[in-house]
Amino acid sequence: MTPELAKTLSHGMRRIRTVEETIAARYSEQEMRCPTHLSSGQEAVPAAISAVLRPTDLAVSGHRAHAHYLAKGGSLKAMIAEIYGRVTGCARGKGGSMHLIDEAVGFMGSTAIVGGTVPVGVGLGYSLMLKGTDDIACIFLGDAVVETGAFYESLNFAILKNLPVLFICENNFYSVYSPLSVRQSHIKAIHEKVAGFGITTQDGDGNDAASAHEIITKTVADIRAGKGPAFLEFSTFRFREHCGPNYDDDLGYRPDQFIEGWNAREPIRQFETRAIEDGFLTLAGIDQMQEEIENEVKAAFDFARASDFPPAGEASQHIFANQMKGSWK
C-alpha cells in the first residue's frame, strides 16, 4: 500500500457509492424511466480492478454494470444521461441503465441477459490474442451467471485457446430473492467448481479493497505473461434491493444476522479506517475528495437533465434486426 494507491482506491469506491446513492435518492422524481440495479456495498472490487486495468484492455458486464463502467473509465456524464434516456447518453438514450457502452475506454457493453456478455468477452479475448498484444479482456459476472450454459461453453473455449481473459465473479449470494442454497450445489464453492475445468482460480474478500487489489494485480500480471485465463470469486454484499432504489430487508429473504454481519464490514469505512491508522490517508484529505466527487456527480446530473431526448426518427436506428420491405422480421 502507498498513499497514492490508498487515495485511488478510496476515490474509486466513494465515487461509485456517491453515484449510486444519488441515483437512489433521485429515482422517485420519475425522470429515470428504466430499471436500475445499484452497486452500493459492492464498490471494493471495481475500484481495485480500476487501478490495474489499462485503457486498452477490454471489459463487459451484466445488468449491475454502473460500477464496472465507471471503473473502466466510462464517461459519468454519458452514463447518467443514458439512465435519463437522453441523446447524450452512451447508447444515445436507448439502452438505459443495463445497456452501457464506451468503446473509447474499452468498455464494450453490458446486457440484462444473465450471462449474455460472457461469450462476447471471450470473443474479445480471442481478438486480443490474434493481435498479439498483452492486453486482456475482463468479464464481470455475478454468482447466477455460473448457472448458465453459455458460461461453461465460453470458459471451456477460453481455456482451450489459452486466451487472455479474466473472469471476475462478484458473489453477493442472492439472485433476486433466491439464495445460493436453492440454486447451486453447496458441496463446493463457485471457484472450486470452476477450477475443475483446468483454469487458475482464487477466492477473496470482495469487501476488502486492498486485498482484492493485491489478488487482481498478480492475476492480471500472469494473464499478460501468457499464462492463460483466470477466474476470481469475490464475496460481497449489496445494500439495496436487487432492482431499484429502495431497501428490501423487511421482506426477510436475507437473515438479519447475514445483513448485520456484512454491514459491519462495509468496504469504504473498513478500508479508510486502516489507511488512516497506517498514515496513508487523512480525514481532511477524504473530506476534500468527497466534496470534489459530489461536485462531479452534480454536474453529471445537471448535464443529463439539460440534454435532449433522442429524435423520434432514431427509434429504428442502431437496432440489430433484419428489415425487409418495411416489415420487421
Q: Are strands 174-175 and 178-179 parallel, antiparallel or unpaired?
A: antiparallel
**DSSP-derived secondary structure for 147-195:** GSHHHHHHHHHHHHTT--EEEEEEE-SEETTEEGGGTS-SSS-HHHHHH
Q: Which domain holds residue 309?
A: 3-328
The CATH number of the domain holding residue 302 is 3.40.50.970
Q: CA dist 47 to 8, 73, 180, 291, Å?
A: 8, 11, 25, 18
Ranges assigned E (strand) in the chain: 58-61, 107-110, 137-142, 165-171, 174-175, 178-179, 200-205, 230-235, 323-324, 327-328
Q: What is the pLDDT along the chain (329 residues), one digit of tens a residue?
A: 999 999 999 999 999 999 999 999 999 999 999 999 999 999 999 999 999 999 999 999 999 999 999 999 999 999 999 999 999 999 999 999 999 999 999 999 999 999 999 999 999 999 999 999 999 999 999 999 999 999 999 999 999 999 999 999 999 999 999 999 999 988 899 999 999 999 999 999 999 999 999 999 999 999 999 999 999 999 999 999 999 999 999 999 999 999 999 999 999 999 999 999 999 999 999 999 999 999 999 999 999 999 999 998 888 887 765 554 455 44
The total of structural domains in the chain comes to 1
Single pTM value for the model: 0.94
Dist CA 85 CA 208 (whole Å): 34
**Residue of 69, 76, 74, 73 whose CA lies nearest to 51:** 73
Instruction: Specify whether the CB–CB gap between 107 and 90 falls below 8 A.
Output: no
